[in-house]
């Protein structure tokens, strides 16, 4: 299963490169400095160019590093996506530091930012499952459960959420989690 319809809203899973998606916003699994890094964060900064970096620099200059579980928006720069919503996921410590609630907050706060700006289509990567070490199967359950609940109860403008998963193993874990959710 790779699609779930929730009322008039859609939650989808796709395998691909999030930097190539033409949606209202893609979500960046950022670090707290917002200034790029490895994985999806580095890919988004490279694809989007200096406009993203400059806006991130200004945001951090105004408010300091972005804490885990929060989200902010910048331009999409040179990417097909018009906007980037940056969120900082939790580093995995064996589940002993409330990682699941912080991860859920990443998804919920990113969607709240999308709502704030009237965005209809949002694409997420698998947050925290790369360098931050969150186990993919556990992260997928938190991510999909949180997004499905948001689409059921809070979404007004967001109509479609796509999880863009970079490799087959991650896609498979998310497909299993979506099947379990239904």
The separation between CA 7 and the C-alpha centre of its own chain, rounded to angstroms, equals 22
Task: State yes or no: is 41 an active-site residue.
Answer: yes
3-state secondary structure 134-151: CCHHHHHHHHHHHHHHHH
HSE toward the beta carbon, residue 111, CA cutoff 13 A: 27
The DSSP 8-state label assigned to residue 158 in this structure reads -
Question: What are the residue ranges of helices labelled H in 31-98?
Answer: 39-48, 50-63
The residue annotated as part of the active site, out of 2, 17, 24, 41, is 41
Helix (H, G, I), strand (E, B) or coil at 115: helix
For residue 56 the two structure tokens come to 């991130």
d(Cα 4, Cα 11) in Å, to the nearest integer? 5
Give the active site residues. Answer: 41
């Amino acid at each position: 299963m790779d699609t779930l319809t929730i009322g008039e809203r859609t939650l989808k899973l796709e395998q691909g490169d999030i930097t190539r998606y033409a949606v209202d916003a893609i979500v960046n699994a950022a670090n707290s400095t917002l200034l790029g890094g490895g994985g999806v964060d580095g890919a988004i900064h490279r694809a989007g160019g200096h406009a993203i970096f400059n806006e991130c620099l200004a945001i951090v200059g105004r408010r300091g590093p972005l804490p885990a579980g929060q989200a902010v928006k910048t331009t999409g720069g040179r990417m097909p996506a018009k906007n980037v919503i940056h969120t900082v996921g939790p580093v995995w410590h064996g589940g002993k530091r409330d990682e699941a609630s912080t991860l859920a907050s990443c998804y919920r706060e990113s969607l709240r930012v999308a709502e704030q700006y009237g965005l209809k289509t949002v694409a997420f990567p698998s947050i925290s499952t790369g360098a931050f070490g969150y186990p993919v199967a556990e992260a997928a359950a938190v991510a999909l459960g949180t997004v499905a609940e948001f689409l059921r109860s809070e979404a007004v403008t967001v109509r479609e959420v796509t999880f863009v998963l970079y490799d087959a193993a991650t896609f498979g874990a998310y497909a299993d989690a979506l099947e379990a959710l239904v």
